[in-house]
Each structure stands twice: as C-alpha cells, then as structure tokens.
Amino acid sequence: MTAQVDRTAGTAGTAGTAGVAGTAEAAGAGRAARAPGTVRRRVLVGAAALLMLTGGATIAHGAADGTDGAPAPDGGGHAAHSTGTGTGAGEAGPVGGASRSGGFYMRADGVFSPPGSFVPSDALTYDTALVPAAARIEITQYADRTSHRVGTRLRGLVPNRAYGMHVHTSPCAADPASAGPHYQHRASATADPVNEVWLDFRTDRNGNGEAGARHEWGFRDGGARSVIVHDAQGGAGRRVACFTVPFSS
C-alpha cells in the first residue's frame, strides 16, 4: 500500500511538474513569439520620440491656389513687406491641389536644435536664450505669373520680442556666417526690403509670431537657400538661428 501510494504520488507529482513545466514553456514560447514585435515597436516609438525632442524637418511640395486642401497664400500686405503676430506654426501636412493660376507652393518646417545635436536638423539655433531648442519654424513659398510670396510662422520663442529675419544665399552650418549674405534681386551695397526678402516679426505673449513678404520677382535657381533669424529687426543684427529651406526658382 505504501509503495502504491508512493508510486501514485510520484506519478501525480511527475505529471504536475510536467504540467507546470509545459505551461511555463508555453508561456515562454508566447513571450518569445511576442518579443520581436514588441522590441520593434519600442524601438520605433523611441526613435520617433527622440526625433521630436532633438529636432527635425519635414518638407511638402505641391501646386496650390487654396483649393483641394491646399492652403491659400495671403494676398494682402505691403507690396514688399508685411508683418504680424500669429498663433504659431502648425504641424506639416500634405500640400496639393490643382492651381488655376499655374503657380506652385512649397512648405518646409523644422524644429530648432543646437549644432552638433545627436539627431541633425536643418533648423539650427545659435542662441538658445533667444531661440530655444525645440522651438519651431515654418516657411512657405508661393509663386504664380504675377507675384512671389514667402511667409513664415514660428512658435516657442521669447514672448513679446522683436526679431529680424531675411532670406540668405547659402545653407545653414555650425558657423552662422556660413549662410552667406542676404539674397538680393539685384546686386546692391545696401540692404532694403524691396530688393531683398525681409520677414521681420514680433512674437506674442506665447512666443509665437509670423510674417510675410511679397514681390513681383522670384528667386534665381539655387540662389536662395536659407532664412536667418536675427536678434534685431532691420537690415542687420546678430545671427541667432538658421533654417535651410529648399526654395524654388
């Protein structure tokens, strides 16, 4: 009887152990089956979060005149230069739609980060006290047969402060001087908003601002490559930030 009880107990114990082991093995297999997807999802989410924190840029192109979902450029403003205060740049989205006027539309937006950041950005801040890391910028360009317009919207800057901004001839780099001089329609020794693209603006209480410039002339092919944010309005000022922009001619 004792031997039989021992054998029965042993069999039950073996079966119980095997059952537990099988359950554990099945659970382990389930975790192993799920692990690759989980890891991939975590890597993708982590990379996206890192890009948002450290800066980046997105670009959208398309023909537009305010139809089929494409935002219409502002038709008002001074003949050469107009400024205002807004609520800040929105997220980049698709731009498109047929253009009755035969024009084109470009939008580029970026998140400022200091030169040498882990994730490179086309938007560089050289003074984080005036243009904080993670501040945002959007540049739009619209041209048709009769006019050429460039606009900007920014958010996350110093509240209630005046900034200067101009289109420059070269891309941004770690050295602020690398962006070159102001883009000029005709070579001139003086700076003015009729011969150049000035986008001076003043931020609101939330640190957001916007500006626009309109001319009858457009850019030469490859002649305009960036915008520089200055610490003062007017024809000059210290360069505090830069954004490389794929302007079209």
Q: Give the tens place of pLDDT for each residue, 55-89.
A: 444 555 555 444 433 444 443 333 344 443 333 33
Two tokens, residue 205:
């209480």
Biggest distance spanned by C-alpha atoms of the chain: 113
Q: What is the mean pLDDT of the chain?
A: 74
CA dihedral 70, 208, 130, 55 (to 10 degrees): -40
- d(Cα 127, Cα 220) in Å, to the nearest integer? 30
Segment (H or E) for 229: strand 226-230
> Looking at residue 75, what is its pLDDT?
38
Which pLDDT tens digit goes with each residue over 88-99?
A: 333 343 343 334
| Beta-bridge partners for 242 | 124, 228
Amino acid at 101: S
Average of per-residue pLDDT across 126-151: 96
Which pLDDT tens digit goes with each residue over 22-49?
A: 444 444 444 444 444 444 444 333 444 4
- d(Cα 91, Cα 155) in Å, to the nearest integer? 11
Q: Residues 186, 223: contact at Cβ < 8 Å?
A: no
3-state secondary structure of 63: coil
> Looking at residue 37, what is its pLDDT?
46
> Looking at residue 187, what is its pLDDT?
95
pTM: 0.67
Residue 105 pLDDT class (50, 70, 90 cuts): very high
Two tokens, residue 59:
């670009």
Amino acid at 3: A
* Per-residue pLDDT at 9 exceeds 60: no
CB neighbours of residue 25 within 10 Å: 11
- d(Cα 202, Cα 243) in Å, to the nearest integer? 18
* Per-residue pLDDT at 111 exceeds 70: yes
> Looking at residue 104, what is its pLDDT?
87
Residue 176 pLDDT class (50, 70, 90 cuts): very high
3-state secondary structure of 26: helix
Average of per-residue pLDDT across 189-212: 97
- d(Cα 145, Cα 165) in Å, to the nearest integer? 26
Beta 209-215 vs 148-155: how paired, if at all?
antiparallel
> Looking at residue 191, what is its pLDDT?
93
Amino acid at 203: T
Q: Is 185 exposed, middle or buried (0-12, 13-18, 19+ CB in 10 A)?
A: middle
Spatial strand order of the sheet with 57-62 comes to 57-62, 104-111, 136-143, 148-155, 209-215, 82-84
